[in-house]
Chains A and B, each alone.
Chain A
Amino acid sequence: MRKIFTYILALTFLGAAISFAESPVVNAKPSSGELINKSWAAHGKKDIEATFKYTQELIDLYKDEADKEEATLKALPKAKNEIEDVQVLNDVATAYFIQAESLMRQEKTGEAKKIFKLIINKYPFAQAWDPRGWFWSIKLASEQSVKKIETGSIEVEQKKKVSQLPTKVVLYDPGTEDIINYEKYGEFKNISTRDYKYIVKDQEGLIAAVGEGIYPNTSSVRWDPELKKAQKEKRLEGDIWDFSHSPDLEAAFLKWATASEPQGVRLFYTALILEKSGLIKQALKCYYSIVVHYPASYGWTYWHTPWYVGQAAIAKINFILRNNPQLGYKLEGADIKIINGYDNDVANDIAVTNPGKFVKSGKTDKVTTKPKQDLTKIIKRSGEGKVYAAKYENGDWQLVVEGSPYIIKGITYSPTKVGQSPDEGTQTSWMEDDFNQNGRADGPYDSYLDVDPRKTPTGDFKFMQSMGVNTIRLYHHPGKVDKKVLRDMYENYGIRVIMGDFLGKYALGSGAAWNPGTDYNNEEQKTKMIESVKGMVNEYKNEPFILFWLLGNENVYGYACNANTEPDAFFKFANEVAKIIKSIDPDHPVAICSGDILFLDKFGKDAPDIDIFGTNAYRGDYGFGRLWKSVKEEADRPAFITEFGCPAYAEGKTPEEGEDGQAAYHKASWENIEDNMAYSLGAGNAIGGVVFEWLDEWWKAYEPSIHDTKGLWAGPFPDGFMHEEWLGLASQGNGKESPFLRHLRKAYYTYQRLWR
């Protein structure tokens, strides 16, 4: 997820343009990357002359090369490196695109359309990078623009690709056992080692016990009368992934149970559909079959990072058992550790598996096995100041603020007026926005509830305080920070600030150009980043609202920085920066903001002076799984989630159901954080989390005046897609009363119950 500071885009281009302007004049042929940066910057500034100068220069210099690159492609490249292999093609097509967009802006629609059509016909495999975090097809964007020219609308028709008949799964063969006694049907070997195996001795018996669709029972589903029926009704037609979120649960079950996907993935989605259909026991069996038979299986996320299905299955089982105490079971001891699992390479993975065991849960379970806080003492402490992280004798971690444990109940606060967009350079600072000209910031102090007929100016700070928020996350650059607002927020509403520096992400602070971005081996750039961080610390270290310092924003994924290819250099540098911070300010700890657990092992090894591991994680509605335990094993640091969230929009659902889905996602996320806090039964190192985000931002799917429902990327959300403009716990209603109106969604009240 790469949402939080995308507004830097316009500023970055501007910065790049300035740095180019200052460069000495040389006659060398400019790279296509340089020219595209200049083109975007000129387009951003609405400088039509410069836009056409740079784009045309790029096209003239690189068109032939682009044509050759296009000719080498048979399909849209998927992996990042493959996309970057045809960068000239991407830049040339982007140059045409910018020209067409510029013409559209000038209302020269006929000329614009010609260029869009040229792109569609000549460069179907070109892609451009969106700093929101993904590549986009220039051809598709061109098609949308053509449609916009022709129809005046950009709404993309979303065709239902698979059966939408609402059904529930009716099992033909539910199996003979609810909890499988695997010892009866085979033998577990080498538990908790890399040579773990379950050897089936009585396959027939196991097939009968597990029932339909669950490994190794692949027979029953083919006898299921529903299969023939669904085939006859053509309800099984369509792409298997479109079934994952279809209301035709019967068809989805049949489709997945007979799918040719890798076994672990097949079983996970089969289980998911059983779970959705309310067949909880069957779902548990199905999830557990992954742990037993396919613990090392993996799938790939949209971002092409490995997704370890066995670990996810254990998380799902724990989630289901937690929410269904009537089942009376718990899963004890189950764990799948993937050695070398913190990189993007699955070839070197080694799974160490303990399938654990389902045991009856009894009254004694409520008594924790861990000693209470007052019986333990601190054995390690980061920092001597008023804020520090403490490790207790039992190995658990807590954040301590002024002598008391502090749970980060955080939220990302970035209220943006409807119609504003950083893409168009129109976004203003929420700390300075004063559209009603009453001398105070609109969002924080003047917002009101949709249900309040008198529209009483109440303010987000008040709403957040009522919700239980005690922290927001903020970066000191590139926008301006108004200390007075933050002081007031702390003094009157009790909300502190995690203050961050991007540490070279999006080329911020390093002085590097967007392309190729920050290089963590470049001494000059490192010096600049250190100066940026020093500036932040010196500016704010004495402010009472500071909770601690945060370095980066999922730099490990790369994008205008090379932390993805040089993770050791990045973490070592971050560690140096942490040491410098502490030399200036011993009062506040230092945290990193990483991307899920990518390169976690390198963080543990390279960054011993960073006190807290923070990470952006979007793992679905059942918590964060093994994340906490992995941090404990690899780094032994307290951990918190720097971003997590879920859209309140889901295709095919009512607004009410959409809010329900969002609320359920947040509830499960927070309960999982709680389950892993000190003195809980989990990993004991969770110190809280930062919800993404307070308010819907309407610019994220490109049209800042429209509340887009576009699914921007596939992910573990209620309808399988991320709808970026619907992540707020509060909405802006129909947008007409922006930036003041607030509709508080169900998730807001969920947190009120959980946090207060």
Chain B
Amino acid sequence: MKGPMMRALSGAAALSLAVAAAPLIAQAPQGPTDADLMNDAASTGDVLTYGMGPQAHRFSTLKAIDTSNVSKLVPAFAASLGGEKQRGQEAQPIVYDGTIYVTGSYSRVFAFDARTGEEKWQYDARLPDGIMPCCDVVNRGAAIYGDKIIFATLDARLVALNRNTGKVIWNKQIADYKEGYSATAAPLIVKGMVITGNSGGEFGVVGAVEARDVNTGELIWHRPVIEGHMGTLKGKDNGITGKLNATWTGDLWKSGGGATWLGGTYDPETNLLFFGTGNPAPWNSHLRPGDNLYTASTLAIDPDTGVIKWHFQTTPHDGWDFDGVNEFIPFDATINGKPMKLGAKADRNGYFFVLDRTNGKFISANKFVMQTTWANGFNKAGKPNYIPEGRPPAPGEGKGKPVFASPSFLGGKNWMPMAYSQDTGLFYIPSNDWGMDIWNEPIAYKKGAAYLGAGFTIKSIAEDHIGALRAMDPKTGKIMWEYKNKAPLWGGVLTTGGNLVFTGTPEGYLKAFDAKTGQELWKFQTGSGVVGSPVTWEQDGEQYVAVMSGWGGAVPLWGGEVAKSFKDINQGGALWVFKLPK
């Protein structure tokens, strides 16, 4: 509105205009609504949520591209993220109304024209130089709602941008980066609330799940995930998490860890949020006897109140850094002749869990990696059969003698999301077969002072591969097929109605497999490692596939002998979009 006209309006006139305009805005929504987000799995013309639906199946019913023609897939365009900031690109694209929204390393957001790849706008968060991100400067994706694109930054802020202009609508601190907090996950939007976890590798961080008003960023509820901490709802106390000192000694619960750094999923059928929690602190398990609830767990949370409805701990009393953050994916299946509402999680600890998602009851846990040295299966009660020799010793004991542990601390599966096909009934798990030697490091220093640290080195456990994409039957726990990859797999998975499974490799390929047999049908070299999550949608009558390329993430930071498998991979930063030739 032009200045002179604005000045001409009297106060009363302006007010009446505003009242008249309000219903108009409501009738003409400026973008995706709550209902649209909940319907994302069924709507094939867009990708509105991280996971391609709140349940994060990463399954599309589209079948124009199928096993018979995927070998002809070609690039439609590529779009560079530019600059010198080429580090790990772990984002999943969001696609809406002719625009592809991606987040990039160093907390950047890009809007590209979905037909031409031309950049519409770019937003670069200004980051303070005192941030210490533990595992590269990645971001895993944005959320869309109405006129907003919302994403989290490395300095632990949530930023809402106008999706047409890239201009800031609101920008809220969600935690203090000076206390070691950070944020890299894609936000989840449920019932007009942005639901986020938190991240931070630093000691003293306590995991939490929070809900904020999507229009203002104002906090609605806060739920710490470590027992003893008070939750809040609308500014008022809302009950303590768990029971104080039930599974923690002394005041260690105050700094118990459990960061919820990977975000969560939502199941509209049971109205439950599912968030995974990180490993406990301190690292040395001998200093914190007990189960250390609710670390290394999956929590079911009521989105309306932030109250924990049930929990299941995948690694009680963790001593290997097996944090339990992995996505819990709701699905339905018939077990022993009984139709059940279930959920599945492929854990860092190497086991694939199936639970009753209505109450958290244990159904099964099956190994999805080559080797687990820490436990030999789970008993009927859902507790691990520990192997005592597999637990790293307390500092000062067994000095210098390494313990071999598998999976390594980077996990049988790390952050990269698996997919579930409603057609085949199989889960497709991006997994890694690797172990670690871990030992006490007597000459260690922290902030210039003597410290008792652990040293370790990651090791291969197979001659021919580290990465393995595996098809798991959740009803039997059997691996139906596997694809082995030389370098560790670090990207997400997509499955489609065309009987296809897509995933990327650090070697730079986006690959397509037959969802039933695992046969490799197509690959394309993107120029840098692929550690993002692919998506698919329909546009102008054609099916498109898109993925981010750009090597990085935690793997190259830790190296060890595993580094040989990726030493020749170069950094990059680009969005690649594919379709069938006309």
Are A and B physically bound partners?
Answer: no
Residues of A within 8 A of B (CB): none
Residues of B within 8 A of A (CB): none
